[in-house]
């Protein structure tokens, strides 16, 4: 059995200012602001790449549904995924930050 992840890069919501976040993305934006991941502060391509590779590094995840309005984006995502999973240290650092900051009511979002 595999696991399919929807919105593995959270609509890249971290790139928006609060006033420009669509209502359905606001919970993602709020969480990412609170998590304050360093890797999201870097170049957009690197941040997206790390977020996607993190998702695909999670045990059991076999598929990530990445939506886009740009038809050629699939090629960039494929190149990113070809770099392989994050290192154990990178993966562990992201998970540890989540454990430190995440609130109990932070369940999966649709």
Model confidence over 9-59: pLDDT tens digits? 988 999 998 888 999 889 999 999 999 999 999 899 999 999 999 999 999
User: Domain for residue 106, yes or no?
Assistant: no
Domain assignment present for 70: yes
Number of domains in the chain: 1
Q: Is residue 108 part of a domain?
A: no
| Dihedral class, residue 33 (left if φ above 0, else alpha if ψ from -120 to 50, else beta) | alpha
Confidence class for position 72, pLDDT limits 50, 70, 90: confident
Find the mean pLDDT for residues 60-86: 90
Domain span at 86: 3-101
* Average pLDDT of the chain, as a whole number: 91
pLDDT score of 110: 58
* pTM for the whole structure: 0.88
Q: Looking at the domain assignment, is residue 110 inside a domain?
A: no
């Amino acid at each position: 059995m595999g696991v399919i992840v929807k919105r593995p890069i959270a609509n890249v919501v971290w790139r928006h200012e609060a006033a420009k976040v669509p209502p359905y993305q606001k919970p993602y934006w709020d969480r990412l602001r609170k998590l304050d991941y360093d890797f999201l502060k870097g170049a957009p391509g690197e941040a997206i790449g790390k977020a996607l590779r993190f998702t695909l590094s999670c045990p059991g995840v076999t598929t990530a549904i990445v939506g886009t309005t740009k038809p050629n984006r699939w090629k960039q995502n494929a190149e990113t995924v070809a770099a392989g999973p994050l290192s154990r240290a990178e993966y562990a650092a992201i998970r540890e930050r989540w454990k430190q900051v995440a609130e109990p009511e932070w369940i999966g979002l649709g």
